[in-house]
Chains A and B, each alone.
Chain A
Amino acid sequence: MEAGKNRSLFNGKPIKVLLAKPGIDGHDRGILVLAKAFRDAGMEVIYVGLLPTPEEVVDTAVNEDVDVIALSLLNGAHMTVFRKVADLLKNRKINDIAVVGGGTIPDTDKPKLEAIGISGNYGPGTPISTIVDHITQRAAEMRKLKAMEE
């Protein structure tokens, strides 16, 4: 779990992750655990608290120049709400911020989310290391895109 500390890969700048629950959902046990775990893995974590709108999530992600937006919902609204976040990024032509998802997402919804660029989509019982590895991989992709832009 030293992912974010791999400074050669990330040019000395730790992976920056925005954790968010962009729906009407107070189930924050999982996201609070992940916030600590990501920090322990050397990442810079921003958690905006409960009930942000998809617009607020995207605004924060852009202002903070994050590598990854990690979304969590346990209320069954992921298809509508995750899609809104992805659409907002697309409309603003932002392609160097990755979106990953997690929560109670039925298997049949996962390909649909993948198709709109939301990866991961991990369910209950997923080891933290799996999630950290995935975030690291997505962040690396984004850093490459950012380097190309510069």
Chain B
Amino acid sequence: MEKNDSYWSDRYRKLKDQNHRQNSEFDAWSKKTLDPWNQKTGYQEKEFTNSSNIPVKEVYNSKDIPEDTEKNLLGMPGEYPFTRGIYPNMYRGRLWTMRMFSGFGTPEDTNERLKYLIRHGESGLSIAFDMPTLYGFDCNNPRSDGEIGKCGVNVSSLKDMEVIFDGIDLSKVSTSMTINAPAAILTAMYIAIGKKQGVPLDQLAGTVQADILKEYIAQKEWIYPPEAHLRLIRDMMVYCTENTPKWNYISISGYHIREAGSSAVQELAFTLADGFYYVDMGIKAGLDVDEFAPRLSFFFNSSINFFEEIAKLRAARRIWAKVLREKYGARKDRTLLLRFHTQTSGYSLTWQQPLNNIIRTTIEAMAAVLGGTQSLHTNSYDEAWALPSEEAVKIALRTQQIIAEETGVVDTADPLGGSYYVEWLTNKMEEEAFRYFDQIERMGGILEAVKAGYIQKEIAATSYRRQIRLEEGKEIMVGVNKHAEEGEQPINILRISEEAQKNQLKRLSETKKSRNEQEVRKTLEELEAAMRKEDVNTMPFILKAVEAYATLEEISNVGRKVFGSWKEPVIV
């Protein structure tokens, strides 16, 4: 490293040097063969770039990648830097988990759907919550009117979670809960149910998303200012490391960053930058990197530009392994493994000619598998319209089964490894990600960059550029701005009944009547005192409040009182 050079800028400069290559063979071919051909047949007047705005050449050859690629940049599967996959035998050993995200309406509806999935052999449950739950509002808040059960299941207190998991043995399933701002409260509810069922805490398995940085960046579901949420997540990390060793407490998510309009490389860079922040946070909280970092997992998007997605996922694995070893001094291989879930892109789906979405999802799922994903959710063809119908979900699941059972792509690890184009693009994605890491550090780190609105602006600019390109016909969505049809017939979609809201209001009022008010008040006061002391772990106090049937909003309100709320920086 040169003097005053940070790790990030040093690595960025090296990657730039590595990828800036003379290619006399390409130049000679271009002059001798390509140019005359183009002059004879005519150029196609089009920019060939991908979502990351990286120009793509006519063809790639060995001169486009470093000579030591195999030895230094790839390794073999299951070996550092894990570009080719985190397991030696990849899908021969075990297929990815087909984890379909579900949750809608009332806790009763969701309980029924979960039991249905368990009966059909699924042990990996994945729960979606509705908007009021995600923002820490009870069902009886006026703001929740009309929103109950619409985008997921509604939870206002432990009573609702008891219904969701009624008859489900928590020692036999793993549960993924997609929730962020109130993640500690929902984790406490899950622990409370485990305790009631008599399941030892070290048997409770699952994941809570709890990636609050990407909320400020993209999904915008926060309650308090960033520092307050980060502190609560730190408390949960420490508590879970000590008490629930099978609970993955952060799923670092690029999915929402991408859906909010970022490019593939922005998704890669901002997600990993969030990940590095959590690693720093764990180390600062006194945890050993080799003890807690293996509990961090990732969640990526797979969109429609096939090779770009594959390159992104391969680059992500390599970057994580290298940075964890080089910068954070991880010693165990397990710490270096970037494990990830993938979901196909919702944004790539069209409202028009919805059956075409099955094809889009298939291509995206294939990219996720060729990129080496550990689990996968395939979107249903009707999801541009609403939550999926049962028939559409089944086709989405069958899509994964066809890829796994019929196509042969699972027979060998990293089948695209060594492709000049894929390797060049993987290197380029890595370089561009480091350009962002360097830039983010110059701004004082990811938290400062988010608070300044820089990351959000970068994403909005990409999203706007893409929209304009669509309007100008420079990018195509079949059925939307090309091959469109008149007079399309509406498809059948899932509608959530307004009964869900009545059902929830009734249970909440019953819960409030039957609980011990004095106990509720006491637990909330103790929680407030804990929140006011930076060095006290809030997690045991949240658990006590949850167990006294304090509601989601009552617990969230303690934080609102102590930490205040958050107004995002203006970026338009």
Q: Does A50 contact B (CB under 8 A)?
A: yes
> Hey, which chain B residues are within 8 Å of A127, CB to CB?
471, 481
Complex Cα spacing A129 to B496, Å: 33
Q: Does B173 contact A (CB under 8 A)?
A: no
Give the one of B350, B351, B572 with max A CB within 10 A: B572
Complex Cα spacing A47 to B351, Å: 26
The answer, among B350, B386, B496, for a CB contact under 8 Å with A104, is: B386
In chain B, what residue has the closest Cβ to A76?
A: B150
Please tell me if the beta carbons of B219 and A26 are within 8 angstroms of each other in the complex: yes
Please tell me if the beta carbons of B467 and A75 are within 8 angstroms of each other in the complex: no
Contact code string A19-41 (vs B, CB < 8 Å = 1, else 0): 00001111111001101110000
Q: Does B483 contact A (CB under 8 A)?
A: no
> Hey, which chain A residues are within 8 Å of B495, CB to CB?
106
Q: Which of B71-119 contact A (CB under 8 A)?
A: none
Please tell me if the beta carbons of A77 and B146 are within 8 angstroms of each other in the complex: yes
Q: Does B402 contact A (CB under 8 A)?
A: no
In chain B, what residue has the closest Cβ to A31?
A: B572
In chain A, what residue has the closest Cβ to B466?
A: A33
Contact code string B467-484 (vs A, CB < 8 Å = 1, else 0): 100010000010011000
With A80-B146, A106-B385 known to touch, is A50 a contact of B568 (CB < 8 Å)? Answer: yes
Complex Cα spacing A77 to B347, Å: 20
Please tell me if the beta carbons of A123 and B463 are within 8 angstroms of each other in the complex: no
Q: Does A135 contact B (CB under 8 A)?
A: no
> Hey, which chain A residues are within 8 Å of B215, CB to CB?
26
Please tell me if the beta carbons of A24 and B144 are within 8 angstroms of each other in the complex: yes
Contact code string B449-464 (vs A, CB < 8 Å = 1, else 0): 0000000000010011
Q: How far is the CB of B148 from chain A (nearest CB, A)?
A: 9
Q: Does B505 contact A (CB under 8 A)?
A: no
Contact code string A103-128 (vs B, CB < 8 Å = 1, else 0): 01011100000000000000111011
> Hey, which chain A residues are within 8 Å of B570, CB to CB?
49
Complex Cα spacing A35 to B351, Å: 22
The answer, among A29, A76, A125, A129, for a CB contact under 8 Å with B386, is: A76
In chain B, what residue has the closest Cβ to A24?
A: B131
Q: Does A53 contact B (CB under 8 A)?
A: yes
Please tell me if the beta carbons of A49 and B568 are within 8 angstroms of each other in the complex: yes
Please tell me if the beta carbons of B143 and A45 are within 8 angstroms of each other in the complex: no
Give the one of B463, B467, B480 with max A CB within 10 A: B467
Please tell me if the beta carbons of A53 and B146 are within 8 angstroms of each other in the complex: no
Please tell me if the beta carbons of B351 and A124 are within 8 angstroms of each other in the complex: yes
Complex Cα spacing A19 to B384, Å: 22
With A26-B221, A124-B351 known to touch, is A33 a contact of B464 (CB < 8 Å)? Answer: yes
Give the one of A35, A45, A49, A128 with max B CB within 10 A: A49
Total A-B contacts with CB atoms under 8 angstroms apart: 97
Q: Does A62 contact B (CB under 8 A)?
A: no
> Hey, which chain A residues are within 8 Å of B132, CB to CB?
24
Q: Does A86 contact B (CB under 8 A)?
A: no
Q: Does A81 contact B (CB under 8 A)?
A: yes
> Hey, which chain B residues are within 8 Å of A107, CB to CB?
490
Please tell me if the beta carbons of B147 and A24 are within 8 angstroms of each other in the complex: yes
In chain A, what residue has the closest Cβ to B479?
A: A125
In chain B, what residue has the closest Cβ to A1?
A: B471
> Hey, which chain B residues are within 8 Å of A79, CB to CB?
146
How many chain A residues touch B (CB < 8 A): the figure is 34
Please tell me if the beta carbons of B150 and A77 are within 8 angstroms of each other in the complex: yes
Complex Cα spacing A125 to B480, Å: 6
Complex Cα spacing A47 to B571, Å: 10
Please tell me if the beta carbons of A32 and B572 are within 8 angstroms of each other in the complex: yes
Would you call the interface of chain B mostly helix, strand, loop, or mixed? Answer: loop
How many chain B residues touch A (CB < 8 A): the figure is 44
Complex Cα spacing A128 to B471, Å: 7
Q: How far is the CB of B452 from chain A (nearest CB, A)?
A: 16
Q: How far is the CB of A105 from chain B (nearest CB, A)?
A: 9
> Hey, which chain A residues are within 8 Å of B496, CB to CB?
76
With A50-B220, A76-B386, A106-B385 known to touch, is A124 a contact of B146 (CB < 8 Å)? Answer: no
Q: How far is the CB of A60 from chain B (nearest CB, A)?
A: 14
Please tell me if the beta carbons of A32 and B460 are within 8 angstroms of each other in the complex: yes
Q: How far is the CB of B20 from chain A (nearest CB, A)?
A: 34
Q: Does B261 contact A (CB under 8 A)?
A: yes
Complex Cα spacing A125 to B478, Å: 11
> Hey, which chain B residues are within 8 Å of A51, CB to CB?
135
Please tell me if the beta carbons of A36 and B131 are within 8 angstroms of each other in the complex: no
The answer, among A25, A36, A123, A129, for a CB contact under 8 Å with B572, is: A36
Please tell me if the beta carbons of B384 and A124 are within 8 angstroms of each other in the complex: yes
Q: How far is the CB of B505 from chain A (nearest CB, A)?
A: 14
Please tell me if the beta carbons of A76 and B151 are within 8 angstroms of each other in the complex: yes
Q: Does B561 contact A (CB under 8 A)?
A: no
Please tell me if the beta carbons of B568 and A125 are within 8 angstroms of each other in the complex: no
Q: How far is the CB of A38 from chain B (nearest CB, A)?
A: 10
Please tell me if the beta carbons of B260 and A29 are within 8 angstroms of each other in the complex: yes
With A24-B131, A29-B260 known to touch, is A106 a contact of B493 (CB < 8 Å)? Answer: yes
Q: Does B352 contact A (CB under 8 A)?
A: yes
Q: How far is the CB of A138 from chain B (nearest CB, A)?
A: 21
In chain B, what residue has the closest Cβ to A81?
A: B146
> Hey, which chain B residues are within 8 Å of A104, CB to CB?
384-386
> Hey, which chain A residues are within 8 Å of B567, CB to CB?
49
Complex Cα spacing A36 to B350, Å: 22
Q: Which of A57-102 contact B (CB under 8 A)?
A: 75-77, 79-81
> Hey, which chain A residues are within 8 Å of B137, CB to CB?
24
New A-B contacts (18) at CB < 8 Å, excluding given A24-B135, A29-B261: A24-B131, A24-B144, A26-B215, A26-B220, A33-B463, A35-B572, A36-B572, A50-B568, A75-B151, A76-B150, A76-B386, A76-B387, A76-B496, A81-B146, A106-B495, A108-B490, A124-B351, A127-B481
List 24 contacting pairs A-B, 8 Å CB cutoff, sorted by A: A24-B131, A24-B135, A24-B137, A26-B220, A29-B261, A29-B347, A33-B463, A33-B467, A49-B568, A51-B135, A75-B147, A76-B150, A76-B496, A77-B150, A79-B146, A80-B147, A104-B384, A104-B386, A106-B385, A124-B350, A124-B384, A125-B352, A125-B477, A127-B471
Closest 5 CB pairs of A and B: A80-B146, A26-B220, A76-B150, A24-B131, A77-B146
Chain A residues packing against B (C-beta within 8 Å): 23-29, 32-33, 35-37, 45, 47, 49-51, 53, 75-77, 79-81, 104, 106-108, 123-125, 127-129
